[in-house]
């Protein structure tokens, strides 16, 4: 069901290029396992770096905060700076530079599983549309795809150029997290937000889930574009053209399913999907996969 690689399917040539990449001192990486708050942090970081001004379009979102594994190094080399690079790569694969900055977001494993279930079973052309949740969650556990990813970064959580956050602390204290991220990015950003309440309020507003969901609608429109229209679009870089032209073709009778990169963004949605016995089994197996660490204490109250 899943790739054995904890970072998911990545083209070999792209992965090889990424491994050889030498991060710049001004690189900012937003690192997560899929469905752990990536898009949310992309918005927060962009808004901090640009005084509360949001992404103008879906195209700008992809240019200004490129997805490393999907767009490759050309996107990183040509991105406007300051900006942030999105990646789902584990620490063992992503090139490391002690001067670059890495923001890692962890999410409680049961909510992560639920969000990945919906993402993978509702995406257009997904081969997993008919899988049952209990089968999905069991495969998620057995492959240890999230625990391996989380462990690789958790070991480095105290490195000075890594900011380790959790989705669960972001929700109740978004303002505090924005200040924490700003301080990590540089004292000039932290001072700006402490002194300018208008910019802070703009960041809070434009990083809200209602505002970010507007990007979903733009993605839907883009996904429906004719391939020939994409090819002829002079405003679109070649690496983005390649990404969208290589998307799976619809099967006969396939109906459109909205893209949901921003779904609910809530804590505890797992309670609507796991039975009591399933949740206990999941917790026991996940705890076993991260044994000899204190990771489970992060979510002891959930």
Query: In order of start, what are the domains of the chain with their CATH numbers?
Result: 12-247+256-299 (3.40.50.300)
Give, in degrees to the nearest 5, the angle at Cα 18 between 109 and 27: 80
Please tell me which residue, 285 or 120, carries the higher pLDDT value: 285
d(CA 123, CA 256) in angstroms, rounded, equals: 9
Query: In sequence order, what are the residues at sequence separation of 6 or more whose Cβ sits closer than 8 angstroms to the Cβ of residue 164?
Result: 104, 106, 153, 154, 157
Q: Of 260, 265, 266, 264, which is closest to residue 217 (Cα–Cα)?
A: 260
* Average pLDDT estimate for 187-213: 96
Which tokens in the block code for residue 121? 């079973």
Residue 127: is its pLDDT beyond 70?
Answer: no
d(CA 199, CA 16): 40
Tens-place pLDDT, residues 132-188: 999 999 999 999 989 999 999 999 999 999 999 999 999 899 999 999 999 999 999
- Confidence at 1, pLDDT banded by 50, 70, 90: very low
> Could you report the per-residue pLDDT of 48-75, keeping only the tens digit for each?
999 999 998 888 998 999 999 888 898 9
Q: Which of 26, 61, 52 is nearest to 215 (CA)?
A: 61
Find, among 184, 151, 220, 2, the residue nearest to 84 by Cα.
184
Provide the pLDDT confidence category of residue 251 given band limits of 50, 70 and 90. Answer: very low
Global confidence as pTM = 0.89
Q: CA 167, CA 101: separation in Å to the nearest integer?
A: 19
């Amino acid at each position: 069901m899943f790739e054995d690689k904890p970072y998911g399917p990545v083209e070999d040539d792209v992965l090889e290029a990424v491994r050889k990449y030498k991060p710049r001192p001004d690189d900012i990486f937003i690192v997560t396992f899929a469905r752990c708050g990536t898009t949310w942090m992309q918005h927060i970081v962009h808004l901090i770096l640009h005084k509360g001004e949001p992404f103008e379009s879906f195209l700008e979102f992809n240019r200004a905060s490129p997805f490393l594994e999907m767009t490759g190094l050309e996107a990183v080399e040509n991105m406007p700076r300051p900006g942030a690079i999105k990646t789902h790569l584990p620490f063992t694969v992503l090139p490391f530079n002690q001067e670059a900055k890495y923001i890692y977001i962890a999410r409680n494993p049961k909510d992560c599983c639920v969000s990945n279930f919906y993402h993978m079973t509702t995406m257009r052309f997904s081969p997993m549309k008919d899988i049952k949740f209990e089968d999905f969650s069991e495969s998620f556990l057995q492959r240890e795809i999230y625990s391996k990813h989380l462990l690789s970064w958790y070991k480095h959580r105290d490195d000075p150029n890594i900011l380790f956050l959790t989705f669960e602390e972001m929700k109740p204290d978004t303002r505090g997290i924005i200040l924490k991220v700003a301080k990590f990015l540089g004292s000039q950003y932290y001072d700006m937000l402490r002194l300018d309440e208008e910019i802070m309020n703009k960041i809070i507003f434009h990083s809200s889930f209602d505002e970010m969901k507007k990007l979903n609608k733009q993605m839907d429109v883009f996904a429906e574009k004719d391939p020939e229209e994409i090819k002829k679009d002079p405003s679109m870089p070649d690496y983005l053209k390649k990404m969208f032209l290589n998307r799976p073709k619809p099967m006969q009778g396939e109906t459109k399913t909205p893209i949901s990169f921003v779904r609910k963004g809530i804590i505890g949605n797992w309670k609507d999907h796991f039975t009591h016995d399933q949740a206990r089994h999941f917790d026991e197996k996940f705890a076993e996969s991260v044994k000899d660490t204190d990771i489970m204490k992060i979510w002891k109250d959930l």
